[in-house]
Structure 1
């Protein structure tokens, strides 16, 4: 049996700020237990929910040499859904009200400590993995420390490391001198071919250089990050390591996101009865949000962080124009003040057409997926994206910009062949997006049968974790020590 250890800064159900937590929490459950023993190491943040903390039991503790002092390393464990989790406890580093803070240097120190501690606890918990699967810059030092400090001992020799990039934009960069002081790594590791990038040390870069394999969260994104536009200054390195780089699309939890059993939506439905039942969710949401109650009006949903990356400058630019059409727009999310206020303004100006919900709520997100006819996602870049997968699952047709994971998961509608599961536009251009939304409106209003056939296809595609898990298993086997 092959042993795999996930090391990450967040994971469902314990702590979540984004899609990374879904991957870390869901993927291990779908990996075949007959061949793989997968375990997870996370930080023991103070802000983890108390009920979840009560599931944890104390294992042991020791002191570790780190940043010129002896640091306490506490170890706790818990088992959830058949997966063993270990938690690293240290009050100084993990005491915040949120998992991440704004002080970049402290974040680098915190996750350097976490990376070293994650390797140090392995003999104590008596688990020697064949593969350590690291996620994002917060664990970028794991492959580095593994080669630099731990490979000398018999226990660690031959352990392979995988680095998964969930979003290349975040890299963990700071002045070389400070990072060298924190990590205790020799000069040799900070040259431009290793952790050095101009005058900074770059933790994600270290992980990419020293990992045995690199993955990212969709095939198209794996290609894009080898180019200058998407490469965030690491495109040269990623081209050099192209043979070790692969893209594996994320999945979603098909039990949690299931319109047939979803407890958050008023009317459950499936691929057979959606023609009659799905629209009841729209009427219920129109009533709840004070929109004009009209079951025939096309409703477009948005559930997102309101940031530039997600294409909100495009939406902002044409929203007045779009509101002249026979549509309703329901938005849920928080983010940049400029976009929060823009949606509040449009909600005020077009009150029966636009509903701006500037907060986040899991039940409301499910209601929007179930009630909307289409789902808008015009991202500037999108490593994978999960919202479009949820929309497909609920028979809500995605309208996306063709980038990253959106290319891999949404097949654009082809009216000549009657194929496709959504609508796509190529250039990052507001009027090209508007034209695509209007094409979707035409099909919705004038070719209802075509629209319903598209929903049939959307609900039939499988983006469950089971599919992704098989691809990860292939990679783990390919990395055989």
Structure 2
């Protein structure tokens, strides 16, 4: 049996700030338990809900030298869905009200976490074949494995995989501080190792020292080898091409299931969505004070409001789009200017626009189920989960052709009657507007074709089953 340890900074249901938590909370369940012993290690944040913290089992503790002194490392365990989760306890580092805070402090605590992940392994009697590291927070694990821990026979056979969920966030700071903090030797801080543009870079360290590097869609693998998407690491990623793979994220089909989702006004399936899906729309219209009309097209957005997500394109043409016959339902928070934009339009067009400037998981499910189309005009999107959820709930994605959006949404072809959504290529507001209006025309003028689009989308399989098989193949190659 192959032993795999996932190391990450967050995971549902314990702590979540973004899509990374969904991946860590879902993917381990889908491996073949006869072949793979998969476990997960996380920081024990004080902001993890009390009902989980109170049921964690104490395993052991010890002291580890880090940043100039011996520091407490507690080990706790919690089993969920047959997966053992280990939590590294240190109140000095993990007692804040949120998992992330000041950037320098985050670098210090995730440096500690990376060293502690390796240090706890003898205490939990687990000698993984592969440590699967996720994003910059765990970037130093492959570095420690091949430097300070390399002489210990317990660690010599271990391999590591570094998965990049978002290349924009790399964990960088000046070399002297990182060297002092982490205790890593001088020879590691050179341009072919951890140094990047005169700073130390955690993610770069992980990319250099991991045996394999992966990211979360096949298109994003190719994009990040170019200067535009590569965030100054494109040459390094190009150099690692032979060991750099794209494996698409999935979604948990048990959690996202319109047939039995308790958040919905009306459950539905691919066989009865034509009758039942519209009930979700009319009930949401009533709840939000929009004009109640089952035939009016409704477009949804569930997102962080940032430039990365294409909100500058929406800002450019939203006034012009308000002359069209559709309703817009928005859920999320982010940059002040975008929040103000949606507030303004919701006040100006109260029957057409609903701005919900907060986040609620249950409410997001209502939007996915109620809307006819879902807008994601991202500047870049390593994978994207929202378009996968939208397809699952019979809501047609309108996306820009980038990263995982390009890999998962097949553009509608009216001549062959194929496709699962609508897409545009260039990062251009009027090109986006044109494709939205094309989607409107299909919705209003050819409802039969629209329903066939919905049906094809709902029949797609973007569950973790598919992705887990690809990871298993990668693990087999590495071991």
Instruction: List aligned pairs for 1:444-455, cutoff 5 A.
Output: 444-455=443-454
Question: The residue matched to 2:147 in structure 1 has which SS?
Answer: helix
Are 1:477 and 2:476 counterparts?
Answer: yes
State the partner residue of 1:307: 306
How many Å separate the matches in 1 of 2:135 and 2:287?
A: 39
State the partner residue of 1:415: 414
How many Å separate the matches in 2 of 1:266 and 1:206?
A: 48
Question: The residue matched to 1:122 in structure 2 has which SS?
Answer: coil
CA contact (8 A) 1:151 1:158 kept: no
State the partner residue of 1:51: 51
Are 1:11 and 2:15 counterparts?
Answer: no
- Where in structure 1 do 4 or more consecutive aligned residues deviate above 3 Å? none
How many Å separate the matches in 2 of 1:38 and 1:363?
A: 29
Are 1:267 and 2:271 counterparts?
Answer: no
Give TM-score, length-normalised by structure 1.
0.99
CA RMSD of aligned residues (A): 0.5
How many Å separate the matches in 1 of 2:94 and 2:401?
A: 39
Are 1:161 and 2:171 counterparts?
Answer: no
CA contact (8 A) 1:373 1:396 kept: yes
How many Å separate the matches in 2 of 1:198 and 1:289?
A: 49
Question: The residue matched to 2:327 in structure 1 has which SS?
Answer: strand
Are 1:23 and 2:40 counterparts?
Answer: no
Report deviation, 1:228. 0.3
State the partner residue of 1:137: 136
How many Å separate the matches in 1 of 2:273 and 2:387?
A: 18
How many Å separate the matches in 2 of 1:417 and 1:444?
A: 17
Question: The residue matched to 1:458 in structure 2 has which SS?
Answer: helix
State the partner residue of 2:38: 38
Are 1:105 and 2:76 counterparts?
Answer: no
How many Å separate the matches in 2 of 1:297 and 1:389?
A: 23
Report deviation, 1:401. 0.3
How many Å separate the matches in 2 of 1:244 and 1:50?
A: 41
Per-residue CA distance 1:275-321 (angstroms, 9 max, x = gap): 01000110000000000111111000000001110000101111111
State the partner residue of 2:70: 70
How many Å separate the matches in 1 of 2:30 and 2:150?
A: 30
CA contact (8 A) 1:56 1:76 kept: yes
Per-residue CA distance 1:183-221 (angstroms, 9 max, x = gap): 111110000000001210000000000000000000000
How many Å separate the matches in 1 of 2:329 and 2:12?
A: 27
How many Å separate the matches in 2 of 1:328 and 1:248?
A: 35
State the partner residue of 2:359: 360
How many Å separate the matches in 2 of 1:78 and 1:309?
A: 36
Q: How many residues align?
A: 479
Report deviation, 1:55. 2.2
CA contact (8 A) 1:195 1:203 kept: yes
Per-residue CA distance 1:317-338 (angstroms, 9 max, x = gap): 1111111000000000000010
State the partner residue of 1:258: 257
State the partner residue of 1:234: 233
State the partner residue of 1:324: 323
State the partner residue of 1:282: 281
Question: The residue matched to 2:308 in structure 1 has which SS?
Answer: helix
State the partner residue of 1:148: 147
Instruction: List aligned pairs for 1:206-225, cutoff 5 A.
Output: 206-225=205-224
Instruction: List aligned pairs for 1:328-347, cutoff 5 A.
Output: 328-347=327-346
State the partner residue of 2:123: 124
How many Å separate the matches in 1 of 2:188 and 2:353?
A: 53
Question: The residue matched to 2:122 in structure 1 has which SS?
Answer: helix
Give TM-score, length-normalised by structure 2.
1.00
State the partner residue of 2:86: 86
List gaps (5 residues or longer) in structure 1.
none
Stretch of structure 1 that moved more, 151-160 or 32-41: 151-160
Question: The residue matched to 1:276 in structure 2 has which SS?
Answer: helix
